[in-house]
């Protein structure tokens, strides 16, 4: 089967290599995605083990349509009755880059109408639409007159790992954190410090990688492929059991700190949930309060990008970051990610390496500063 695996802009090459490792074939990078061929076992494995994927889509039909009548007709022709049982609910995610279908909501509505009518006409029962917790999630995508409809195998995006129940608005996306750790070249034998760790995404993702913990091993949301008619429960259960056995107890030295008490509590609970303590230590300290260290290591951090978080101008705050990181961690490579490129330029060191990496729709840079 063909799969389209979504990721962040800038992380496509990392995802490509990862998918090849997980058993996918004919792997090709696209913009914010990687296409590949995979069997059912590999599809399951990608959802369980990928650190860099946001969602996994399986294309089911593609066609050209110039208006809503052609759209409805082509959608209706597909055998949805074999895919969506009347007892199952579904929802349609939608995006349009087409001047023929500028209203993506209308695109989704007509797609829904055709699917519901087809299932009702064949099965005699109309499937329900559930916007909150659908059993089956479909994705309709329009570019010019080209329409593609895919089954979403993941459901809730794969950055929802399951190791924390509370998500702060300022939390670093877990997939982004995993990408940052990978791009930095961090090795488990190195000390890793995040001096502005927030709710601990970078620290937790690094530890999960080092301990070989499958990213979605403890996910509570489940996956949409588990509601598909051909779902192989025994295959999935065996894969989960194998993933549990694959975890190791490698000793680590990972330290996160932040001034935000609520975020620190979430980070500590996450580390406890995954049995990562005491190898992942989470401290409540501001950047100013952190002590100078003579140990070598690596700093990976995402400073605040909103002025209200710093209570001062962002550029002044980033200059302060320069001082404290260079003073407290003189023998560390410091990797800093920010979507505020103007503030990032206020750092008073020349970046040795730069990666362009988007956080959703926000352009960001991930820079290495060797202090």
pLDDT at 311 over 60: no
Q: Kind and range of the H or E element at 250?
A: none
Q: Where are the domains of the chain?
A: 2-152, 174-211+249-370
In a 13 Å sphere around the CA of 56, the CA atoms on its Cβ side amount to: 29
What integer pLDDT is reported at residue 81 of this predicted model?
92
pLDDT at 315 over 90: no
pLDDT at 178 over 80: yes
Cα maximum dimension of the chain: 73
pLDDT at 110 over 80: yes
For residues 309-318, give the mean pLDDT.
Answer: 75
CA gap 55, 43 in Å, rounded = 11
For residues 59-81, give the mean pLDDT.
Answer: 95
pLDDT at 130 over 70: yes
- Computed over every residue of the chain, the mean pLDDT equals 93
What integer pLDDT is reported at residue 20 of this predicted model?
98
Burial class (CB in 10 A: 0-12, 13-18, 19+), 226: middle
Architecture of the CATH domain 2-152 = 2-Layer Sandwich (3.30)
What integer pLDDT is reported at residue 222 of this predicted model?
92
What integer pLDDT is reported at residue 309 of this predicted model?
57
What integer pLDDT is reported at residue 294 of this predicted model?
67
User: Is the model's pTM score more than 0.85?
Assistant: yes
Residues 6+ apart with CB under 8 A from 119: 80, 81, 84, 86, 125, 126, 127
**Mind listing the pLDDT tens digit for each residue in 248-288?**
999 999 999 999 999 999 999 999 999 999 999 999 998 88
What integer pLDDT is reported at residue 217 of this predicted model?
97
For residues 93-112, give the mean pLDDT.
Answer: 93
Q: In the structure, what pLDDT confidence band is assigned to residue 5 with cuts at 50, 70 and 90? A: very high
Percent of the chain with pLDDT over 90: 81
pLDDT at 316 over 90: no
Q: Tell whether domain 174-211+249-370 is in CATH 1.10.645.10.
A: no
| Side-by-side strand order, sheet with 2-6 | 25-30, 33-37, 2-6, 55-64, 146-152, 136-143, 89-96, 128-129
Q: In the structure, what pLDDT confidence band is assigned to residue 310 with cuts at 50, 70 and 90? A: low
For residues 31-51, give the mean pLDDT.
Answer: 98
CA gap 172, 265 in Å, rounded = 15
**Mind listing the pLDDT tens digit for each residue in 227-239?**
999 999 999 999 9
CA gap 270, 276 in Å, rounded = 8
What integer pLDDT is reported at residue 307 of this predicted model?
62
Kindly list the distances between the CA atom of residue 334 and the CA atoms of 76, 116, 200, 326, 328, in Å, as whole numbers in the listed order. 55, 54, 17, 9, 11
């Amino acid at each position: 089967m063909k799969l389209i695996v979504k990721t962040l802009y800038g992380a496509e090459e990392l995802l490509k290599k990862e998918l090849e490792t997980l058993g996918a074939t004919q792997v090709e990078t696209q913009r914010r995605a990687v296409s590949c061929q995979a069997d059912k076992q590999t599809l399951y494995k990608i959802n369980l083990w990928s650190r860099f994927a946001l969602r996994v889509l399986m294309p089911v039909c593609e066609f050209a349509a110039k208006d809503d009548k052609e759209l409805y007709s082509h959608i209706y022709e597909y055998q949805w009755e074999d895919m969506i049982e009347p007892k199952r609910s579904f929802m349609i995610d939608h995006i349009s880059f087409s001047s023929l279908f500028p209203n993506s909501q209308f695109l989704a509505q007509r797609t829904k109408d055709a699917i519901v009518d087809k299932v009702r006409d064949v099965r005699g029962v109309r499937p329900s639409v559930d916007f909150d917790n659908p059993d089956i999630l479909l994705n309709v995508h329009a570019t010019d007159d080209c329409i593609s409809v895919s089954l979403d195998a993941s459901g809730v995006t794969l950055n929802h790992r399951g190791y924390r129940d509370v998500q702060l608005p300022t939390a670093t996306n877990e997939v982004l954190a995993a990408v940052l750790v990978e791009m930095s070249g961090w090795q488990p034998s190195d000390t890793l410090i995040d001096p502005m760790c927030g709710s601990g995404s970078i620290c937790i993702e690094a530890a999960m990688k080092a301990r070989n913990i499958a990213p979605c091993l403890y996910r509570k949301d489940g996956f949409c492929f588990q509601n598909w008619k051909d779902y192989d429960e025994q295959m999935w259960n065996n894969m989960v059991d194998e993933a549990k056995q694959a975890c190791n107890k490698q000793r680590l030295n990972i330290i996160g700190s932040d001034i935000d008490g609520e975020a620190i509590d979430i980070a500590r609970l996450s580390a406890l949930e995954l049995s990562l303590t005491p190898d992942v230590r989470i401290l409540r300290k501001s950047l100013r309060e952190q002590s100078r260290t003579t140990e070598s290591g690596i700093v990976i951090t995402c400073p605040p990008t909103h002025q209200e978080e710093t209570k001062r101008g962002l550029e002044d705050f980033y200059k302060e970051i320069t001082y404290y990181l260079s003073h407290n961690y003189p023998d560390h490579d410091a990797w800093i990610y920010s979507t505020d490129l103007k503030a990032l330029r206020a750092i008073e060191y020349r970046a040795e390496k730069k990666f362009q990496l988007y956080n959703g729709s926000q352009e960001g840079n991930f820079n290495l500063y060797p202090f």
